[in-house]
Amino acid sequence: MRVAIAGGGLAGLACAKYLADRGIIPYVIERNEVLGGLVAAWQDEEGDWVETGLHAFFGAYPNMLQLMSELGISDRLQWKQHTLIFNQPEKPGVLSRFDVPDIPAPFNVIVSILRNNDMLTWQQKIRFAVGLLPAVVRGQKYVESTDRFTLSEWLRLQGVDERVNTDIFIAASKALTFINPDEVSAMITLTALNRFLQERYGSKIAFLDGAPPHRLCQPIVDHFVQRGGTVETGVSLRKIVLNPDRSVKYFLVGKKGEPDRVLEADAYVSAMSVDILKLLCPPEWQDLPYFQRLEGLEGVPVINIQIWFDRKLTDVDQLLFSRSDLLSVYADMSITCKEYADPDKSMLELVVAPAQEWIGRSDEDIFNATMAELARLFPSQIPEPARVLKYHVVKTPRSVYKAIPGTQLRRPTQTSPIPNFFLSGSYTLQPYLGSMEGAVLSGKLTATAIEHAFLSHSPQDLGQATALKT
């Protein structure tokens, strides 16, 4: 049995891996020349890696950790000290730490909050704890019910101090979803907090020891190619061609400069972004409620900027929450990532979020605004004496789905009403939201759905399913 997968991001690659493990042959196409989707990276003319985004791995990513263990690459994660670090814009150059002790959850996170005295007063800590109590005590079902509120609305209903919102939740919302608390669904942040509170190392952070395409994506590709799978880059899905019964007949695919061709399989998977899927959705499917719900989902714009300096700006080996209006999170990758290590120079990687008003601006405008923010974060080094060697700005106009209130009900399952067509992607229904973990889990769920739909049937049924492609 063969499955055609359109999209070579983490969701599509994970789907291919788990299909191959089941004896099903995957055929992956990716429209870009590099694999990875939202974790893609490439080398510039000087050999330095340019990344699509700043990627942090959490202890609360069981499916990602399991995938890397199965591939034998767990040692490629560089685990950092268990702490969350925030900048203090009102105190330039000062960092505020929430050091998490190695004791059982949720007491470890609670102790880290109680020990921090430079961001929240005791009264604010108490209101913070009381406000979060319903989410902790009443569990995930209650958390999912909060999808009708923005995070700001929910915090006000709980009586949580506005400063807690500005000090903690703006940074958390921008890091998790790239939008602010007055836009994001309360369910998103509360889901993440619940996992951090329930798992001893849930909030512990790791960085990959090198660029994702060759340190993470390539081992996945090697795994399923060794089992008979195929991957092609630079190949786009042009059209989903249907049979009279609205099942998929074949994918029409094409490579720049070459004639379009037919890609036939027994089952078909869209592991593309929800925005691309909506553009390619056949007219014959658009009256189905399953596909109509997708209209309520769209990707959020994100900008990643990397800046190389001629000297060290920091010695912090960790992800940092900027707490600025422009920036979400950043890290000195010359410290946090083994492959990018440099004892004498810094390479800062920073996420601009929310990015809606910046996505159409020039790279120079974005760079200048970022440097102005960095002058506040590193007042003793920027603009003097540190000198910029070069920079790269990478814009993603449609990234993970925009997690505003009401979107949870619009997220589709991996199994569609079309018997031989499936979806994979972090926007699909799974508990890990729009993240690398969500992408990997969605790929695994899609592979399981395909196995159940085809291989769990009788040989006669399987033969009929195979005949769909002819």
406 and 292 in one domain? yes
407 and 388 in one domain? no
Which domain range does residue 363 map to? 302-396
pTM of this structure: 0.93
219 and 173 in one domain? no
215 and 263 in one domain? yes
Name 172's bridge partners.
none
445 and 413 in one domain? yes
Task: Tell me, yes or no, whether 65 lies in a domain.
Answer: no
191 and 106 in one domain? yes
Per-residue pLDDT of the chain (470 residues; tens, 9 = 90+): 999 999 999 999 999 999 999 999 999 999 999 999 999 999 999 999 999 999 999 999 999 999 999 999 999 999 999 999 998 877 877 889 999 999 998 889 888 988 888 887 888 778 777 777 777 777 778 888 999 999 999 988 888 877 777 778 888 899 989 999 999 999 998 888 888 888 999 999 999 999 999 999 999 999 999 999 999 999 999 999 999 999 999 999 999 999 999 999 999 999 999 999 999 999 999 999 999 999 999 999 999 999 999 999 999 999 999 888 899 999 999 999 999 999 999 999 999 999 999 999 999 999 999 999 998 888 888 877 899 999 999 999 999 999 999 999 999 999 999 999 999 999 999 988 899 999 999 999 999 999 999 976 544 443 333 333 32
Report yes or no: 316 and 275 within 8 Å, Cβ to Cβ.
no
Sign for the CA dihedral angle at 282, 284, 290, 296 comes to positive
191 and 126 in one domain? yes
Q: CATH code at 237?
A: 3.50.50.60
Report yes or no: 433 and 329 within 8 Å, Cβ to Cβ.
no
Rounded to the nearest 10 degrees, the angle between the axes of helix 436-450 and helix 10-21 is: 40
Q: CATH code at 330?
A: 3.90.660.50
Domain end among 165, 199, 233: 199
190 and 165 in one domain? yes
Distance CA 351, CA 114 (A): 29
Domain end among 352, 367, 396: 396
Task: Tell me, yes or no, whether 69 lies in a domain.
Answer: no
How many domains are there within the chain? 3
436 and 390 in one domain? no
410 and 292 in one domain? yes
Domain end among 365, 396, 427: 396
